[in-house]
Amino acid sequence: MPAGYSDKVMDHFAHPRNVGVIENPSGVGKVGNPICGDIMEMFIKVENNIITDAKFRTFGCGAAIATSSMATEMIKGKSIEEALELTNKAVAEALDGLPPVKMHCSVLAEDAVRAAIDDYLKKTTGKGLPGFKPHEEGEHEH
């Protein structure tokens, strides 16, 4: 396995925050595919435009689990607009960095958040996130 996981990655991997599902979520996003070995599912609860709760389930490596965990932490309590500003780099930085081959996991986490918000917007406004399209596995850097 690639060496060089930070202590923070290992902490979020060994003790992931916000694991699970939200019953009747405001939005759900599922990204990744089993061929590439990672699937993330993210649930959000939104009240008055604020993400009051976020949970995830992930099939994937240590970095995939840690980035999912960190992403849920970072969007909780944020407005939809603020959550949309979350970038994969910010997730990686919050984890004190990721090995280069694992950067795609942080892209997946960003996508999962956006997919959940896209779903929420579709449900509430009938229109999804403008221009939202999850990254294709394999096209991003890894």
The set of catalytic residues is 36, 105
Under a CB-based contact definition with an 8 Å cutoff, are residues 104 and 141 in contact?
yes
CB atoms within 10 A of CB 12: 25
By CB under 8 A, tell whether 64 contacts another protein: yes
Mask for 99-138, x = binds another protein (CB under 8 A): --x--x--------------------------------xx
Stretch that binds another protein, among 56-64, 77-85, 86-94, 122-130 (CB under 8 A): 56-64
Which residues have CB under 8 Å from 26's CB, separation 6+? Answer: 44, 45, 46, 47, 120, 123, 124
Mask for 17-36, x = binds another protein (CB under 8 A): --xx---------x---xxx
CA pair distance 81, 108, nearest whole angstrom: 19
Instruction: Count CA within 13 A, CB hemisphere, residue 111.
Output: 21
Q: What residues make contact with another protein under the rule CB under 8 A?
A: 1-2, 5, 10, 13-14, 16, 19-20, 30, 34-41, 56-65, 101, 104, 137-138, 142
